Amino acid sequence: MRLAVLLSGGKDSLYSCWKAMESDEVVCFVTIQSHNPESYMFHTPNIDLTRLQAEAAEIPLIEWQTEGLEEIELDDLEAAVKEAVRQYGVEGVVTGAIQSVYQAARVQRICNHLHLWSFNPLWLCDQENYLRDLIENRFEVIIAGVFSAPFDDTWLGRTIDHHFVDQLISIRDRYGISLTGEGGEYESFVCDAPFFTRRIAITDSCRAYKNHNGSFLISGAELVAK
Amino acid sequence: MIAILDCTRQDLPLLKREFVSPVVSIVERSGHQAMILPLATTEVPVNLQGVILTGTALMDDHYLLHGIPEWLMKWTGPVLGICAGMQLIVIAGGGIVIPSEKIGMTEIMVTSDEEIFSGKERFNAWELHQSGVMPTESMKILARSEAGVQAVRCADRPWYGVLFHPEVRNEWIIINFLEICSQHPHNNYDLEIQWRHPNSQKLLKSRL
């Protein structure tokens, strides 16, 4: 089946893409660029860099702008998916949803409206196993934003490795955070994935941090040989 | 051993991750062994304590082509049908599926107190379906939402069906079902029973 992957730049969308590629054909990515930093659905630091990820994966990218107003932004997502159907003959949409019924319901409704299949390869997965699997399959993932206690600026730019997972497990219950950050506790950015033909090297970056709220902003990046 | 009957389209393996694996993982975490079989299996599992029929994607209606396997009609032990699986149980009991689209969380009201709902009166559940059900009197209605029937039980055996997806935010329902399975003897096959509703398969096929 010809699939479009909704790409935020983070680990969940790219891992889901990798799983979809095992059985089906990923023919394009769709990225929604939200102008509203409070968007429930789409806002994430470094969203412009999905362009480099698409190039690294050699998969075409549809970039779509939204003002990011609640619920209206869904019309923008629907328009972007329609464009994927028009340009690439997409029959289904893949998301990185894990347990967010808010996001899953909205994408399911759009797919249903457009008569498209909706696939969520990470749905209700065991979160620790998933993170370990990412690491073991050499996804290179960094922390691009933190948005809750107890994360401070030392977490920004960190690589997701086994030590990171162990540390999250040790604080998860005390702070009520999800291991995968799907509750908005942290955001990630993928520099390399098993299906990338080149990896992303970050050449310039800065940290912006205040009161458990911070971003690792990538201002320079390029594709390099693996 | 709990048999998980996979109601997803077999040529779309991505669906297993979404509709089968989460159920298997709840079963295994509860200390049971799980055996996954495609809905269309002809293999008759032995040493069973219970059977769970999974749901599937909104676009997938292949389960209606298959119906439930013949060996399952001879099984009198516990069964839990989830969404697509519930629809198949209702059809096997002589009922019908009706158009009813719902995507998202819904309030469920328990109308008949049974062990599977452990005394809860109301809860919110995840729904993802294009069809609802209209069961016959051979089934007791256990729960409803504003839109219609949400949970049923066969009058003559511990077969349950839920239209919503209990693996999402309501694992306790699957755990209660597994507790019901533990209380039953193994291998509840009654080989004398034929299709209780001999026309149900024919009816099903004529509807497609």
Q: Which of A124, A126, A178 to mutate to test the interface with B (most CBs of B within 10 A)?
A: A124
Q: Residue A137 is part of a domain; what is its CATH number? A: 3.90.1490.10
Q: Can you give the pLDDT at residue B199?
A: 45
A102 is in which domain, residue-wise?
A: 2-119
Helix intervals (H) in chain A: 11-23, 50-57, 72-88, 101-113, 127-136, 162-175
Which of A12, A17, A107, A117 has the most B C-beta neighbours within 10 Å, making it the best mutation to test the interface with B? A117
Q: Give yes or no: B7 in active site.
A: no
In the 8-state DSSP scheme, what is residue A195? T
Q: How far is A102 from chain B (nearest CA, A)?
A: 8
Q: In this complex, is the C-beta atom of A133 within 8 Å of any C-beta atom belonging to chain B?
A: no
Q: Are residues A170 and A71 both part of a single domain?
A: no
pLDDT tens sequence for chain B (208 residues): 999 999 999 999 999 999 999 999 999 999 999 999 999 988 888 889 999 999 999 999 999 999 999 889 888 899 999 999 999 999 999 999 999 999 999 999 999 989 999 989 999 999 999 999 999 999 999 999 999 999 999 998 999 999 999 999 999 999 999 999 999 876 667 655 544 444 444 444 444 4
Distance CA A214, CA A152 (A): 8
The pLDDT value recorded for residue A38 is 72
With a CB-CB cutoff of 8 Å, which residues 57-76 of chain A face chain B?
none
B165 catalytic per annotation: yes
Q: What residues of A are in contact with residue B15 (Cβ under 8 Å)?
A: 119
Cα–Cα nearest to B159, from B72, B96, B59, B97: B72
Q: How far apart are CA A14 and CA A6, in angstroms?
A: 9
Residue A94: which of A213, A192, A2 has the closest Cα?
A2
What is the C-alpha to C-alpha distance for residues B51 and B41, in angstroms, rounded to an integer? Answer: 13
Q: How many domains does chain A have?
A: 2
Query: What's the sign of the alpha-carbon dihedral B117, B118, B123, B126?
Result: negative
Tell which of A119, A151, A182 closes a domain. Answer: A119
> Do A115 and A131 lie in a common domain?
no
Q: Which domains does chain B have, with CATH numbers?
A: 2-207 (3.40.50.880)
ipTM for the complex?
Answer: 0.94
Given the residues B7, B127, B154, B165, select the one marked as catalytic.
B165
